[in-house]
A and B are shown apart, each in its own frame.
Chain A
Amino acid sequence: MNKIEFKEVGMKYHTQVEETEALRNLSFTIKENEFVSLVGPSGCGKTTSLSLLAGLLSPSSGQVIVDNEPINGVNEKIGYMLQEDYLFPWRTILDNVLLGLELKGELNAKTENKARRLLADYGLDGFEDYYPTQLSGGMRQRVALARTLVFEPEILLLDEPFSALDYHTKLALEDEVAQILRDEKKTVVLVTHDIAEAIAMSDRVLVFTERPGKVKEEYNIDLTIDGKYSTFKAREASEFSNYFNSIWEELDVYV
């Protein structure tokens, strides 16, 4: 079943001096529980696509459809993770996680317990009353993940969520997040510049053209993995480098 459908979506931005066409005739579908990555050159409209899905922007033409209905206003089914954690420094870790629940009016003893449990699951128990400045980058991004997952969004939008982290933390967190999202059976759209990350984490990779963006090529990722899935094992799979090279060549034109 199609969870998400982009139907000939066009998007234009206007400023005083010019018009920028970010997307033209962008069409693709994403199935329920699928993990899809969008890769492409800078400024090709990947982030615009996420904003359209989130309902922060409306398309200039075409339709963005979620669960068979065009998006109208902010999409309540999505959780959005940005490049940085954007934790609020004036809130404690627990209060940061509770932010979404608070805004949606769903804050109660039960949901608060859930928030505490999530923090514990991500190895952050005992840090509930700390302030964000007291935590490391990886811990903060895990808090951001808890903040996104605590209100149980059906669709998760990840906009380069690991790009601000150091390489070690990035690899470890990539694996953690990929496992969590597979276990929770979410539909995920990941925007990234990191081809290896896209292949290791997703079921499918969509390669965008230069602006105005549309899908140039798509790859179904099918890796041979022994035992339980992890991004580390995925990177060791024999097919990995083939995928990497093909996608690299697709993108290479634009460097």
Chain B
Amino acid sequence: MFMFKRLKDIYNEVLTKGAVTEEHGEYLKRMRLKDFSIKVLQLMILIVFTVGWELAAKYRIVDPFITSYPTEIMKTIYKMALNGQLFKHVWTTVYETLAGFSIGAGSGLLIAITLWWSDYLSRIFEPYIVVLNALPKMALGPILIIWLGNGSQAIIGMALLISVIVTIMMVYNGFRETDKNKVKLLKTLGASRLQIFKKVVLPENLPTIFAALKVNIGLSLVGTIVGEFLVSQAGLGYLIVYGGQVFKLSLVMTSVIILSILAGVLYYLIVWLEKRVIKWEQ
């Protein structure tokens, strides 16, 4: 009985930590319990799905040959980790994605700055950018392979191509919609165009730039996987295509799951970076 009371005290203490008044404590408790229940349910969905999949395969509700199952996937990951295959393929995909993403984001940003700098240039190039944006970039795959060879370079090219146009459009539009009165204020202070860019346009658009980066990290991953589908000797895209061709569904599923984890990690990397750069309240 005493133990139970002690536990209850600790439970209340943790949930009302930092409370200013008793009422505030109740509020904090409600909020924290809600947050906690969300986390628990998120985890539950994952567990139920995994266990359900395993049992369904075990009792032949689904055909394990075409669906594979979690323990088989774990075994595959373990085996691949031991013989170094896991690291090799994951690294290939990460490297190609990050290379395409950085070059795409960097050049997209530079082009957006150029277009903002010269209204004349932006009007000249507008229709070309619109068409390039609407064009499915995968259609350029074969051309990339012929030009850049059937290796990493063509894949990086694909990742770059798929992310660069979106960067240009998102960032340029953000630049153009910079608060006119803030620009006016800087002009009255005698600011040059470079100063206007550095002091207002860039800082005001940091949130837009990060939004573009968040979209593009995903798009670069799409470009990389598509590129690896078309031509490659390594990478998760290669594993998926290869596994499909030889009907090793556990290999395909393993790659897809690693890919999901990778996509999440890359996305939260950008979120982490954003928090470090943007310190003010929006």
Residues of A at the B interface (CB closer than 8 Å) are 54, 56, 74, 76, 78-80, 82-84, 86, 88-91, 99-100, 102-104, 131, 133-134, 151, 157
Contacts and interface: CB of A to CB of B under 8 A. Distances in A.
Interface pairs A-B: 8 shortest CB-CB? A80-B188, A90-B203, A100-B189, A90-B280, A133-B281, A103-B189, A103-B191, A131-B280
Nearest to B185: A86
A115 to B, nearest CB: 14
Most buried by A among B206, B280, B282: B280
A89 B280 contact: yes
Given A90-B204, A99-B189, 11 more contacts: A80-B188, A82-B181, A82-B184, A82-B185, A88-B203, A90-B280, A99-B186, A99-B199, A103-B199, A131-B281, A133-B280
Contacts of B204: 88, 90
Interface string B172-198: 000000010110111111110001000
Contact of A74 (B190, B200, B203, B280): B190
Contacts of B206: 90
A78 B188 contact: yes
B57 to A, nearest CB: 53
B12 to A, nearest CB: 32
For B190, B281, B282, the residue with the greatest tally of chain A CB atoms inside 10 Å of its CB is B190
24 contacts: A54-B188, A56-B184, A56-B187, A56-B188, A76-B190, A80-B184, A80-B188, A86-B179, A86-B185, A88-B200, A88-B203, A88-B204, A89-B280, A89-B281, A90-B203, A90-B280, A99-B186, A99-B189, A99-B199, A102-B199, A103-B190, A104-B190, A133-B280, A157-B188
B178 to A, nearest CB: 12
A86 B181 CA distance: 7
A133 B279 CA distance: 12
B187 A86 contact: no
Given A131-B280, A133-B280, A104 B185 contact: no
Nearest to A53: B188
Given A131-B280, A131-B281, A86 B182 contact: yes
A169 to B, nearest CB: 20
Contacts of A90: 203-204, 206, 278-280
Given A74-B190, A103-B190, A103-B199, A80 B280 contact: no
Contacts of A99: 186, 189, 199
A75 B187 CA distance: 10
Nearest to B202: A90
Q: Which among A84, A103, A131, A133 has the highest number of chain B CB atoms within 10 Å?
A: A103
Nearest to B191: A103
Contacts of B187: 54, 56, 74
Interface of B: 179, 181-182, 184-191, 195, 199-200, 203-204, 206, 278-282
B186 A103 contact: yes
A119 to B, nearest CB: 18
B147 to A, nearest CB: 42
A54 B189 CA distance: 9
Contacts of A86: 179, 181-182, 185
B189 A104 contact: yes
A51 to B, nearest CB: 8
Given A90-B206, A103-B195, A80 B190 contact: no
Query: Which of B185, B187, B278 lies at the interface centre, i.e. has the most chain A CB atoms within 10 A of its CB?
Result: B185
B173 to A, nearest CB: 20
Contacts of B184: 56, 80, 82
Nearest to B195: A103
Nearest to A50: B188
A130 to B, nearest CB: 10
Contacts of A79: 188
A62 B243 CA distance: 80
A89 B187 CA distance: 18
Nearest to A78: B188
A76 B188 CA distance: 8
In this complex, the member of A54, A90, A91, A103 whose beta carbon has the largest number of chain B beta carbons within 10 angstroms is: A90
A193 to B, nearest CB: 18
Contact of B181 (A84, A100, A102, A157): A84
A41 to B, nearest CB: 22
A84 B280 CA distance: 19
A83 to B, nearest CB: 8
Tell which of A56, A80, A83, A86 has the most Cβ of chain B within 10 Å. Answer: A86
Nearest to A151: B189
A93 to B, nearest CB: 12
A78 B185 CA distance: 12
A91 B189 CA distance: 17
A86 B184 CA distance: 10
Contacts of A157: 188
Contacts of A104: 189-190
